[in-house]
Structure 1
Amino acid sequence: MNIAGNSASVEGLVPLTAGAAGADLEVAAEGPDLAALGGLFTDAGGIPALPYALAGVLRIEKQSYRLGDFTGTLGNTELAGDGLLVVADNFAGSRFDVRAKGPALEELVPTLDEFGVKEGPFDLQADISFTGDRVELRGASLERPNARLD
């Protein structure tokens, strides 16, 4: 399927239940501008205007979406991870295990200069959990040239 220059493929089982609960799908998507795609559905503020390609497994549950073995790229950054997106206020109960590695952190976070963070390569790993009133990072590590934060 193609939407505004973006392509997506979906293969798998979608049961005829409310909200497609129980669906088990292999999904892939790619396009020239993630922000433009996001702008078709919501306010694209904060979404990077970069080419992207993502693939993985999506399992739809009653109140959540389980993402498995996702890999891909966003701009020049390699992405991998899995997680659970819970449909709740402030995404309470959602959690993700993510890895992002690339040649230019500023590509993903163009406002780095406002915080005095230097440009350059990075390797980020983190477990991210949403509790409803805060976001928790566990096991986070960020490797930069000449520095590592654990």
Structure 2
Amino acid sequence: MKNLYLIFIGIVCSFSVFAQNAPSDVHLNLELTQGKVIPTEVMDTLTDPMILLTSSDTVSISVFMVTSDTTTLSKIHVKLGLTDGGSELIQSTFIFDGTPPSGLVYFRDENVIKLSLGQFTYNQVFYCEVYFEDNSGVLSTVTKYSTN
């Protein structure tokens, strides 16, 4: 029985050693594509300018993330939706340090990665999921972020 436990512990340790690191510090950046006039009467009291946006506004969305290790990183999988786990806005795979899919932008500065996902109609809440894939096809755990 003792040998069985040792084998089990060895298998668990080997999976954790070869697992792809998950993205950390994932954040969405929403940038208004056209200027918006802020009414003078709320200029001094406005704590969150996002409350002025409506569903008729268009925002450019980027996702930022940090990776602790880039040596085996092969692909970055991204989903953006209006519901938790949703991908109705975009589901795409970026090749690490490669040419991004058409219409999308990839930028990396050491371990910080920025993926520009495109322009979308503003919604109060966006949901994003990001996970990495290594050279062997091993997937990291999913890191989620929402704007609410």
If the length of structure 1 is used for normalisation, what is the TM-score? Answer: 0.21
Which protein has the bigger strand share?
A: 1
- Structure number with the bigger relative contact order (C-alpha 8 A, sep ≥ 6) is 2
If the length of structure 2 is used for normalisation, what is the TM-score? Answer: 0.21
